Amino acid sequence: MIRRQEVRDVSQQKRETAIEFHRGKKFGARIPLAAGVAFIAALAGTPEARAQIVTPLVPSPTPPWSSLEVFEPVPFAQLWARSGEALEPEDTPVKTRQQPGYESVGVRAGPWMFNPSLTGGVRYDNNVFASGSDKRGDLSATVKPSLEVKSLWERHGIDVQGNVASTSYRRFSQLDQTDANLRLRGRIDLWHDAAILTTFRTALLHEGVGSLTSPTNAAEPTPYTLNSADVTYWQQSGRWAGSFGLRSDTYNFGTTRAINGSIINQDSRDGHIEALHGRIDYAMSGSLGLFTAAEANRRSLRGSPTQSLSSDGYRVLAGVNLQLGHLITGEVSAGYARQRFDDPSIGTISGPTYRALVNWSVTRLLDVHVKAEQLVTQAADTVAGGIRADAIQVGADYELRRNIVLSVGATYERDKFFGQLRNDAVFSTLTELTYKLNRYSTVSLQHQYFRRDSDAPSASYDKHEVGLNVTTRY
């Protein structure tokens, strides 16, 4: 009787972990207009032992996408969950580990758990308009209330997340913006090794000035709305696991203003994206798994009378994911991608592609991580039709004390434009010091440097940003 209960609890934990890493379109976040489909987390393993949790194939498709944000929407999942084994805090990633006495409390109401939080911060940007010749600095303040509601049912599950972020500038009020985001994730348990996973999201967001997909010479953020839905079926059988699903994203862009005062209309980027995605995993052992994943998409965008931005394509990846004790975890894959644009002046972007996420726990106080990916997207019609972006990030998280973490990282990105003769090189660094005062409050200090060197002189610039954030949660 006790054994049956343990197995049931473990199976439930596996399913909850799987849905936790399913990213609806990131989560929250910030990549090209049609970056692709977020893959649902899948499990693979022997019936009684280890469940394999795989990260999404790509980040969530939410613009803007740049080297500063491309990797963050994809959580580095622990690839193998040991049944019945509770990991000590020092065996979890430094950046996300929960030390005793610093966990979020939350408010429980029957079968529901509520986790509210409030973040306030100030930031100084020495080049708010991303200009290469006329740098203007400004101080901004941001207030962001958030709420997460989770169900505590034994079967099935619902997770609702919502937040509003309002940013105001001291000198340049035209840069003020307010983003709002609401996402619902659900899990319907069909039986112990099969489930339907869903994500629905609606959001009002903005593209930052100078980002990869922002219009050239824009002097204001570009507003847009996003409505997204994903339905995926997941099934496990012994060492095998598979998932397949359908995703739909709809975008509606507003107008922005150029530096010379003219209006830049972005209606050409309105449209919707449909994608089919699937993945198959095989667990060879408790430390090694094989997988193959594929996605096919159709991007139906309005375009302009002189240029279509619509395209169709696919991406196929195959690789391994592994966990060598608590020392090295990761997923490495390679494959082929092809995106054919309807406009012959853009043509077809195709060739080998890759994706890698590797974490090395040098000591229990130091994590080193490497992340790399290639993506294909389209930018604003004032820039180019198609872009292939290659980026690699190297970073480290060091636990100075159990409540103080220092994080550093550097990213190099190469952007090749199709439809015009242009290539960009991007370099950025990020340093962050996080101090957990107690289970209710956290203070963080950040410094960020960004530099873009482009064949198009108007697109080249660099900037420094320094910020301080205070978060209270319950």
Q: For residue range 44-57, what is the model confidence (pLDDT) as tens digits? A: 333 333 333 333 33
Establish if 96 belongs to a structural domain: no
| Chain centre distance of CA 112 | 26
Structure tokens given for 211: 């980002």
Establish if 447 belongs to a structural domain: yes
Q: For residue range 297-326, what is the model confidence (pLDDT) as tens digits? A: 998 888 777 778 788 999 899 998 887 777
State which residues form the domain around 412. Answer: 2-86+108-473
Cα–Cα distance measured from residue 336 to residue 301, given in angstroms and rounded to the nearest whole number: 24
Average pLDDT over residues 329-355: 87
Average pLDDT, the chain: 79
Angle at 447 between CA 441 and CA 452, to 5 degrees: 140
Q: For residue range 143-186, what is the model confidence (pLDDT) as tens digits? A: 999 999 999 998 888 999 999 999 999 999 999 999 999 999 88
pLDDT value of position 22: 36
Establish if 429 belongs to a structural domain: yes
Q: For residue range 226-284, what is the model confidence (pLDDT) as tens digits? A: 999 999 888 888 888 888 889 999 999 999 888 888 888 888 888 898 989 888 888 88
Establish if 91 belongs to a structural domain: no
Establish if 23 belongs to a structural domain: yes
Establish if 407 belongs to a structural domain: yes
List the alpha helices (DSSP H) in 76-206. Answer: none
Q: For residue range 385-407, what is the model confidence (pLDDT) as tens digits? A: 678 888 899 999 999 999 999 99
Angle at 150 between CA 198 and CA 191, to 5 degrees: 50
pLDDT value of position 345: 79
**Residue 86 pLDDT greater than 70, yes or no:** no
pLDDT value of position 75: 31
pLDDT value of position 161: 95
pTM: 0.76
Question: Element (H or E) spanning 11, and its range?
Answer: helix 2-20
Establish if 98 belongs to a structural domain: no
pLDDT value of position 117: 97
Average pLDDT over residues 431-436: 96
Cβ(33)–Cβ(63) under 8 Å? yes
Establish if 37 belongs to a structural domain: yes
State the CATH number of the domain containing residue 70: 2.40.160
Q: Work out the percent of the chain whose per-residue pLDDT is above 70.
A: 80
Q: State how many domains the chain has.
A: 1
Integer angstrom CA distances of residue 394 from 134, 180, 230, 411: 31, 31, 31, 7
Most confident of 143-152, 287-296, 374-383: 143-152
